[in-house]
Each structure stands twice: as C-alpha cells, then as structure tokens.
Amino acid sequence: MAAQTSYQPPKRYQSRHLPFGDRRDAPFYGKHILSVKQFSREDLTYIFEVAHEMREMVMRVGSFDLLKGKILANLFYEPSTRTASSFIAAMQRLGGSVIAINEVRYSSVAKGESLPDTIRTLEAYADVIVLRHPQKGSAALAAKYARKPIINAGDGTGEHPTQALLDLFTIQEELGQVDGLTVTLLGDLKYGRTVHSLARLLSMYRVKLHYVSPPELRMPREIVEEIAQAGIPQEEHVHLDDVLADTDVLYVTRVQKERFDDPEAYERVKDFYIITPEVMARAKDRMILMHPFPRVYEITLDVDEDPRAAYFRQMEYGLYVRMALLAMVLGKA
Amino acid sequence: MAAQTSYQPPKRYQSRHLPFGDRRDAPFYGKHILSVKQFSREDLTYIFEVAHEMREMVMRVGSFDLLKGKILANLFYEPSTRTASSFIAAMQRLGGSVIAINEVRYSSVAKGESLPDTIRTLEAYADVIVLRHPQKGSAALAAKYARKPIINAGDGTGEHPTQALLDLFTIQEELGQVDGLTVTLLGDLKYGRTVHSLARLLSMYRVKLHYVSPPELRMPREIVEEIAQAGIPQEEHVHLDDVLADTDVLYVTRVQKERFDDPEAYERVKDFYIITPEVMARAKDRMILMHPFPRVYEITLDVDEDPRAAYFRQMEYGLYVRMALLAMVLGKA
Amino acid sequence: MAAQTSYQPPKRYQSRHLPFGDRRDAPFYGKHILSVKQFSREDLTYIFEVAHEMREMVMRVGSFDLLKGKILANLFYEPSTRTASSFIAAMQRLGGSVIAINEVRYSSVAKGESLPDTIRTLEAYADVIVLRHPQKGSAALAAKYARKPIINAGDGTGEHPTQALLDLFTIQEELGQVDGLTVTLLGDLKYGRTVHSLARLLSMYRVKLHYVSPPELRMPREIVEEIAQAGIPQEEHVHLDDVLADTDVLYVTRVQKERFDDPEAYERVKDFYIITPEVMARAKDRMILMHPFPRVYEITLDVDEDPRAAYFRQMEYGLYVRMALLAMVLGKA
C-alpha cells in the first residue's frame, strides 16, 4: 500500500532493517521464539547444548561478556516476578543491559497505543524484546511487526515456550536423558498451560506419559490425540499411587478449588494431589519432583529437603535456557 | 542564611560540589537541559553533530563505553514508557547504568518530601538526573537546587526539550538540512506542547511554516508573534490540501474529541486531519511524515510502509539525541 | 524429613550450595546482615575502614569493577525510593548489576507465594538479596532459608541496620571519631526505629547520650536500660536548649501529630522540635546536624546551607556503607 515515492530514508537505516536471517549463519539468529511447536528435536538438542554450556560458564565464572552492549527490552503487560527476573538475570549474566517495563498499564498503552506501535518503539532502542501479555496470540502479533527478535514469555491462554523448554532441560540435566523415561503429569491438566506445552515437547522423545488428575481436570482431548499421533503411550489415572512406583519425573501442578462447580467434588479429591514426604517415600529412589511455581499447598514444605525435589534447581535451569535463547537470537551462540 | 560556624565538612565533599562549569571546558558540561529557549543555533549545530556521531557509533558497534561507571537517575513522576525507555537505552548504549524510578507516587514523595529534597537525595547516588514531572516549572525548580545536571523530560504544560531536539534532528538527518524547508504542523496546535517547542526551534532556521488545524485548535497567538519576530513566514490553514503539495515535512498531532465544546464541530472536521495513503499520494515524492507518538487513528496503519513515514525512525533519532545530551552534560563530548 | 533416596542432584549444584563461610576467609563473606546486634566494635571498625576506602575510590574514579558480573536482587515489598536507589547505586558503582523488584504486591506473592519460596527463587538468579519487608522478623525468616546473603533493608518495626551503620559512619567521617562525643537524639524517640538502632550502636563507644523529646515520645525503657548496662551516660530532656550548647551530634526525627492522643498536647510542644537557623546559632561551631530523611518541616530549608547540616552528605555516606557491605558479603573486601 506504500505510495509511489522517490524518497529514500538515509542509507544505514535500510540495511539495518534487512531480515536478520539474511545476515548470519547462526541457527535462530534473528528468529522469534513464539511457540514450542516451532522446534524440531534437533533444535531442542542444540538449545540444550548451548544451555548446558551456559550452566558450565555460570558455575565457573558467574557472568561473562557474550552480549556486552546488547539491550533487552523486558516488556511485561502483567506481573511475573519470577519470569521477569529470570530474563533480567539471564541478560545480565551475559554482560548485557535491560530496560525493564512493568508499568504497562499506566503507560502509552493506557493512552490507546497498539501493541505493534509499542513493539516498534522499543525496537528503536533495544536489540531483543521479551514479551509477556495477557492475550493469546499477542506474541505472534508482535512478531509480525517486529524487526528485532521477540521472545514470548507467556501470552495468556496461549503458550509460555521458555517454561516448557526449561522443564525439559531440567529433566535432561537431572536424569542425563529424556528417552526411556516415564513422566507423570499431576493435578490440573485441563487448564495447566505448562503441562500442555511440556507434553507436546516430550512427544518428540521416546517417553511414556501418565496423566493423573481429578476427572473434572483431565488433559484436553485434542492434546491427547496430538500426542497419540506421535506414537507416545499415554495413560490417564485418578490416583497417583497407580503410577508413582513407575515414575521417573513427577510434574506437579495445583488443583484449585475455583475450577470445581461443586465444592464437595473438590473436597473429595484434593488430598490425592498433595505431595508429602509420605508420598515421596513410595516414589523411586532415582526420580525427580518438579513444579512450575509458585507453589502453595500442593507440595508441603518438608519435601523441600528431599534431594529428589528439583523445583528450586528447575529455576536455575531456567536461567541457563534463557541465556541460551538470548545468545542464540542475537547471533552469539 | 548559613549560621556563622567554624565547622568545615570533610575536604573532598567540598571540591566535589564546586559548580560543574568551573572544572572543564566542554560545552554543556555540568549544564542543565531545561528548555529549548536555552539553545542558540550554534548549540543546535553542535548537539546534532554529536548526535550524528552517536548514530554512526550505534550503527557500527551498537554500544560503547563512553559513560562507563556513570549513573543516571531516571526520575519519572508520571509514566512515559517511550521517553523513559529512550533515556535508559541512551545511557546503556554509552556503557552507563540507570536507577529507574517510576514509582514516585508510592515513595517518600507520598510521605511529603519536596522535589528539592528528592533531587538532592538522588544526586548523592547518581551523576545525572532525568526528570519527568506533571508540574510546569518543576525542572527549573529541581535545577535550582541540584549540583548535578538535570535534564527536563517533560514538565507538564511546560516543555519537553529533548522531544523538540529529536524532532529537529530527524528533519536534518532525513532531509540533509533544515534551511529552505517548508514545514507543515497539523492537528491540535493549541494544546500540542511538542509543536510549540518545535516551531520555536525551527524559527532559528530559514524555514516556511504552515499551521493546519481546526479553527478551535489554532496555534496560540503568542507563539505566532514570537516566530514572526524571528522573520519566519507563517501561514494558517484549515485544510491540509491547501499546502500539502508544497510540504517537505508534515508533522502530525492528534485532534482529540475532548478538545471540542460542540461534538458536531468535531465530527465536521476530524477527517481533515487523518493521514491515509490517499493523502500521501498527493504529497511530494521527497518529503517526510512525522508524529511524536503515541499515534491512535490520526495516521492509518497502511501508511507505515511508505518510505516517507519517518515516525519510527524518529524514535531512533531520539535515542541519538539523548545519548548526545547525556555525554555532553557529563563532559564526555 | 528428607526421604531415603539414592538420587543425587547433579554435582556442581551441590558444591555451589555449601555454606559460604566454608569457602573463603574474608570476614562477612556469605554472611547475612540482619541486625545491628550482630556487630562487635571490631566489626564496625572494619566495615567503616572498607566504607572509607569506597568513599576514596568513588571520589577518585566514580565507579570500579570490584563486583563486575555479580547480581543484586533488590526486593522491596514496600516502597522506599531512597533506600532502594542507594543500594542500586552501590551495586552499580562496584560494576555489578541489579534486578530491581518493586512490584511485589502484584506478583507471585499476590498469588500466595511464601517469602521463603520467593527468596529461593531469586537466589537462583542473583548473588545477593536486599530485602525490604513490612513485617518484623521477615529478614531473619528469609535468611533462614537463603543460601545467598540477605541484607535487611528494613523489616517493619524491626530493624534497618544499614541506616544505623550509615548514621554512625557519618559521625565518624564528619568528626573524625565517635569516642568522646555528646550525641543528642531529638524528636520522636518512642517510635523512631532509626534512633533505637543508632543508640544501640553508639553504646559500643565512649559517648554521652541526650534524649530530647515530648514526654509522650520518650525513648523506650528497655532501650534505656540496655544502654545503661553498657555504662553509657544518658540524660532525658524536654527542651533542646538544655543540652544544645554541649552537643556534638544533633540527630533529628520528626514529631508527628498522629502520635498524640490530645491535639493540644501536640500544639504545645511541636515548636520545640523544629530546627531553624536561630536554633543552629545557639549550637557549637563544630558540630553536625543529622536526619534520616525524608524531612518535612522539622528542619527548615534555610538551615540547608549551614555547613554543619550534614544530612545530604549523610546519604552519600550511606552509599559507601552499602558498597562496603555488598563487597564484604560477596567476599570481595
């Protein structure tokens, strides 16, 4: 729709705005990270190799200057201390800087600015944009307009791909591999965005999946079908003890009272989905317990000292995965 | 009013608090940036030279350590994601650090602290202070008490000098010069702080100014008179088509319904002040379209791809102007 | 309570989580800073030596890279621009980075997360945590769970140890020593957390303490007794003029109307606790006037130019003390 015109903007601006991929060979260079569906198993292997290197470097030197001089715009339309802090730390441990924007409700958006305009503003200042937004599809919309890489840090009922990647990376780092494992997803499997994305990623490996939930909160049929097509064995259960002895990875999410129409239905089932030392005593010696956090009552505090409780380490793995993604989209890994 | 006393504070504090200008030769070193009225045309030439160098450096290396170790306190009493982010990025691209303060309404100010005390607190920690404050005159008040440079990032109905500077710098960088151009200011010229400041700056160049607005929103008489005294030809119009074919720079601001006492008056005129591809088709081939942003409906999205649409580049020029100002007041340019 | 298990988390995580003190010899390395009660006089001497070095370095070079690559999580559950900015600047002047978290009320805490879980999340990303929290005992609770050092930046009616340290450091730097001085604490001595902590610290030196307050706002008996046991002479007065001529350090806090049941009682006394140039004219030539800030009406603005008015310098001393503490707990001083 551009009008016919002889006007040419000053030279350098044009070259700067060429698509990223045209300029360098690094995989993911200039790419957006929007959905777990964009990754092949090879991609995952590569991301986790880089993330593992990040982990080694952080253990050895804490921080290093791989992204010195680069700026991340951390654009959070809804609060998430954990995810925001993780991206900030990831950028800082790579020597980069962060523009942290948590005030969006008070800003130009409140004055009626569209997401694309906000994104195009921020890419005038920053080299990469991390976006958390309450609306499904917002990350894809941002990416459509952006000339700098967008990383989706959660788009409402849509996806939160870096969470799924860090979950999978945790399994690989803690247990040495993903193939051959039995993974049990527990709790609210109907509304839990994290378990949907994790199940999808796991379907690229040779795993066995158990879904343990109240009948009201079963895994959605479309996800079960999608994973069945990948040839992954899946079983649904109501009671954890049916599968606990067999489980290598127990991934817990909270069963919330508000999800039940009938309060009595909630009362009947809730205790089946709370992890205590007694439950852990019936689990394998070599297994890990995961949780996307925040945790409220669904894992009791006295489980924390169990070496199989991997949920605090899980956050540290998240740091390494996000360091890897930032380095990759900026062409430095 | 100081009491007679033999007490002398420890030595170094005294020397540190000498007026900035006494210590270095760099122009603007230690100076406050409060108003467009403080600049001569020579000053503007110098600022734009430095800003152009900043642009070259960012294009070539992204960031560099000119202000490494320096700290900017970015003190925003009202939210402005765009301006705040621009200053943060400017400081970071020069290797400096930022204390971002966006929460003023909840802070010691809420406890009754005066602006001068807040400023003197922050200058104990930082090397330069950027201030956004809803009250006209607040930046000058801050500067009166400050020993470190204050940069006015908008003081209510007062001024927003860095916006005016970036507007002018955009014209110069995009069209190669300012002298000889015909600049058309469109929309709400009565309440638009940015067009007032820009018109004042332009009056230092050999330009021709067109003001296109509804009768209710004409350029204030005192500004017209001020600019007339500078010998600048000015024309007022209601319809853009009267001057479009002749325009080198079209600067658009929004005509807001709330500005009209009579809703019908608004309905009658509003469409005259909306830029579409059809409007752009009647504009010169070599011209630029500017907007201070945020933009709502006054420039339609299908204009964005027109190479003459300079408003996203305008933000990038803002980054370079702010880098230049920060470096200058800190004695590094 | 950990279950019996053969599972061992990946190696490096274990070694990383050894208690800090086991790994290095530096005093305070890996230690929490929770209360003024944890310091011996030797500790104070050491802290102030380091703080003095920090001051020298900042005077000479502004910033330096002692903590380059280290990350501070600045976790403020209630707003405090002054304290938050001071810690941010302290970390930045040492070359480190900061994750500034001021939004806690909107974050996972709002979703029901406990302070220990938030702390364990942040220590996955950061190297040291500064905590401001409205509840007494919160810093100790955080420290109980933390593997990284916690610095208490105020826990409600509990303590604010870095304020007390900077107050004492101000006295030492301004007057060259603490022993032998007469220190007068003025105003609201009943509710003033800062004067309680400062009195405790001062009791480790050979000082004379005057408490000047309305009868309704006297220093609490338990603190008077505690300090008496240290052998420190203390006197209580209602009128400043009883002790002003003898005072080396006058520490002012605000007498707030809300503290009085009877408004007339407030009206009768309030003017006795306001410092004006006339009051300063009756003070010693060589003395200093301090205030923890924010200041409202209790020191009039025309006192600011008096060289004995040390309250703006006091904030700068706070920067050096916080730089010292950060460097110390991170094993770099």
pLDDT (tens digit per residue) in C63-107 = 999 999 999 999 999 889 999 999 999 999 999 999 999 866 644
In the block, residue with structure tokens 């409140």: A110
pLDDT (tens digit per residue) in A297-312 = 999 999 999 999 999 9
Domain CATH code at residue A174 = 3.40.50.1370
Distance CA C133, CA C135 (A): 6
Whether residues A7 and B316 touch (CB distance < 8 A) is answered with: no
Cα–Cα distances in Å, from B103 out to A35, A103, A120, B88, C102? 33, 9, 25, 16, 8
Residues of C in contact with B330 (CB under 8 A): none
Looking at the structure, do residues A119 and A168 belong to the same domain, yes or no? no
Give the gyration radius of chain B's Cα atoms: 21
CA distance B305 to chain A (A): 5
Question: pLDDT below 70 — which residues of chain A?
Answer: 1-4, 11-25, 103-112
Q: What residue spans of B27-160 are helical by DSSP H?
A: 41-61, 81-93, 115-122, 138-145
Q: Has residue B103 got a pLDDT over 80? A: no
Whether residues A93 and C69 touch (CB distance < 8 A) is answered with: yes
Q: Provide the 8-state DSSP code for C124.
A: T
Looking at the structure, do residues B166 and B287 belong to the same domain, yes or no? yes
Residue C201 lies in a domain: yes
- In this complex, the chains that touch B, judged by 3 or more CB pairs closer than 8 A, are A, C
Residue A302 lies in a domain: yes
Contact B252, B224 (CB under 8 A): no
CA distance A171 to chain B (A): 37
| Chain C residues 281-320 with a CB less than 8 Å from chain B | 281, 283, 285-288, 293-296, 301-303, 305-308, 310, 312-313, 315-316, 318-319
For residue B104, what pLDDT band results from cuts at 50, 70 and 90?
Answer: low
In the block, residue with structure tokens 């440079």: B149
Residue B113 lies in a domain: yes
For chain C, the average pLDDT equals 91
- In this complex, the chains that touch C, judged by 3 or more CB pairs closer than 8 A, are A, B
Whether residues A81 and C118 touch (CB distance < 8 A) is answered with: yes
Looking at the structure, do residues B182 and B132 belong to the same domain, yes or no? no
Number of domains forming the structure of chain B: 2
Among B93, B294, B318, select the one facing A113 at the smallest CB separation: B294
Q: How many CB pairs under 8 A join A and C?
A: 121
Strands across the sheet containing B71-76: B97-101, B71-76, B128-133, B150-155
Least CA distance to C314: which residue of chain B?
A: B124
Residue C284 lies in a domain: yes
Residues of C in contact with A92 (CB under 8 A): 71, 97, 99
Looking at the structure, do residues C222 and C119 belong to the same domain, yes or no? no
Looking at the structure, do residues C216 and C296 belong to the same domain, yes or no? yes
pLDDT (tens digit per residue) in C304-319 = 999 999 999 999 999 9
For chain B, the average pLDDT equals 91
Whether residues A124 and B319 touch (CB distance < 8 A) is answered with: yes
pLDDT (tens digit per residue) in C256-288 = 888 898 899 888 888 889 999 999 999 999 999
Looking at the structure, do residues A83 and A141 belong to the same domain, yes or no? yes
Among C9, C118, C125, select the one facing A307 at the smallest CB separation: C9
For residue B7, what pLDDT band results from cuts at 50, 70 and 90?
Answer: confident
The answer, for B147 touching chain C at a CB cutoff of 8 Å, is: no
Among C4, C12, C125, select the one facing A319 at the smallest CB separation: C125
Show the beta-strand stretches assigned E in B122-276: 128-133, 150-155, 182-186, 208-212, 234-237, 249-252
Residue of A124, C85, C122, C153 lying closest to B100 (CA atoms): C85
Least CA distance to B2: which residue of chain C?
A: C306
Residues of C in contact with B129 (CB under 8 A): none
Whether residues A7 and B286 touch (CB distance < 8 A) is answered with: yes
Looking at the structure, do residues A77 and A146 belong to the same domain, yes or no? yes
The answer, for A17 touching chain B at a CB cutoff of 8 Å, is: no
Q: Has residue C22 got a pLDDT over 70? A: no
- In this structure, what are the phi and psi dihedrals at residue B314, rounded to the nearest 5 degrees? -50, -40
Looking at the structure, do residues C108 and C202 belong to the same domain, yes or no? no
Residue B1 lies in a domain: no
Residues of B in contact with A68 (CB under 8 A): 63
pLDDT score, position C4 = 58
The answer, for A2 touching chain B at a CB cutoff of 8 Å, is: yes
Average pLDDT over residues B292-314: 96
Looking at the structure, do residues B305 and B168 belong to the same domain, yes or no? yes
Residues of A in contact with B303 (CB under 8 A): 1
Looking at the structure, do residues B305 and B324 belong to the same domain, yes or no? no
Q: Has residue B22 got a pLDDT over 50? A: no
Look at phi and psi of residue B247 and say left if phi exceeds 0, alpha if psi is from -120 to 50, else beta: beta
Residue B59 lies in a domain: yes
Residue C3 lies in a domain: no
Contact C217, C188 (CB under 8 A): yes
For residue B230, what pLDDT band results from cuts at 50, 70 and 90?
Answer: very high
Whether residues C81 and B108 touch (CB distance < 8 A) is answered with: yes
pLDDT (tens digit per residue) in B55-72 = 999 999 999 999 999 999
Identify the residue among A81, A83, A314 best suited for mutation to test binding to C, counting C beta carbons within 10 A and taking the highest.
A81
CA distance A102 to chain C (A): 8
Whether residues A281 and C3 touch (CB distance < 8 A) is answered with: yes
pLDDT (tens digit per residue) in C119-136 = 999 999 999 999 999 999
Least CA distance to C73: which residue of chain A?
A: A85
Q: Has residue B21 got a pLDDT over 60? A: no
Whether residues C7 and A288 touch (CB distance < 8 A) is answered with: yes
Look at phi and psi of residue B331 and say left if phi exceeds 0, alpha if psi is from -120 to 50, else beta: left
Whether residues B81 and A97 touch (CB distance < 8 A) is answered with: no
Whether residues A99 and B88 touch (CB distance < 8 A) is answered with: yes
Looking at the structure, do residues B35 and B91 belong to the same domain, yes or no? yes
Least CA distance to C98: which residue of chain B?
A: B99
Dihedral sign for Cα A162, A164, A167, A172, please: negative
Cα–Cα distances in Å, from A145 out to A19, A118, A121, A135, B198? 12, 10, 11, 17, 29
Among C68, C100, C121, select the one facing A293 at the smallest CB separation: C121
| Chain B residues 75-134 with a CB less than 8 Å from chain C | 97, 99-101, 103-104, 106-113, 116-118, 120-122, 124-127
Residue C50 lies in a domain: yes
Whether residues B124 and C296 touch (CB distance < 8 A) is answered with: no
- Tokens encoding A261: 């129409």
Whether residues C99 and A82 touch (CB distance < 8 A) is answered with: no
Q: Has residue C24 got a pLDDT over 80? A: no
CA distance C316 to chain A (A): 26
Distance CA A246, CA A243 (A): 5
Looking at the structure, do residues B290 and B215 belong to the same domain, yes or no? yes
Distance CA B289, CA C59 (A): 48
CA distance B40 to chain C (A): 32
Contact B44, B51 (CB under 8 A): no
Distance CA A197, CA A194 (A): 5
CA distance B5 to chain C (A): 5
Whether residues A85 and C69 touch (CB distance < 8 A) is answered with: no
Contact B254, B214 (CB under 8 A): no
pLDDT (tens digit per residue) in B109-146 = 555 689 999 999 999 999 999 999 999 999 999 999 99
Query: Whole domain around residue C49: which residue ranges?
Result: 18-159+317-329
Burial C138-168 (b: 16+ CB within 10 A, else e): bbbbbbebbebbbbbbbbbebbbbbbbbbbb
Among C174, C301, C312, select the one facing B10 at the smallest CB separation: C174
Distance CA A70, CA A329 (A): 12
Among C3, C6, C107, select the one facing A277 at the smallest CB separation: C3
pLDDT score, position C13 = 53
Whether residues B174 and A117 touch (CB distance < 8 A) is answered with: no
CA distance A330 to chain C (A): 20
Peptide bond into A294 cis (omega under 30): yes
Q: Has residue B14 got a pLDDT over 60? A: no
CA distance from start to end of chain C: 38
Average pLDDT over residues C24-38: 89
How many C-beta atoms lie closer than 10 Å to residue A246's C-beta? 14
Q: What residue spans of chain C are helical by DSSP H?
A: 11-16, 41-61, 81-93, 115-122, 138-145, 161-175, 193-202, 221-229, 263-269, 277-281, 311-329
Residues of C in contact with A85 (CB under 8 A): 73, 99, 101, 121-122, 125-126
pLDDT score, position B306 = 98
pLDDT score, position A12 = 55
Least CA distance to C106: which residue of chain A?
A: A79
User: What is the secondary structure of C131-159 as a DSSP string?
Assistant: EEESSTTHHHHHHHH-SS-EEEEEETTS-
pLDDT (tens digit per residue) in B158-197 = 999 999 999 999 999 999 999 999 999 999 999 988 999 9
Show the beta-strand stretches assigned E in B190-333: 208-212, 234-237, 249-252, 288-290
pLDDT (tens digit per residue) in C143-202 = 999 999 999 999 999 999 999 999 999 999 999 999 999 999 999 999 988 999 999 999
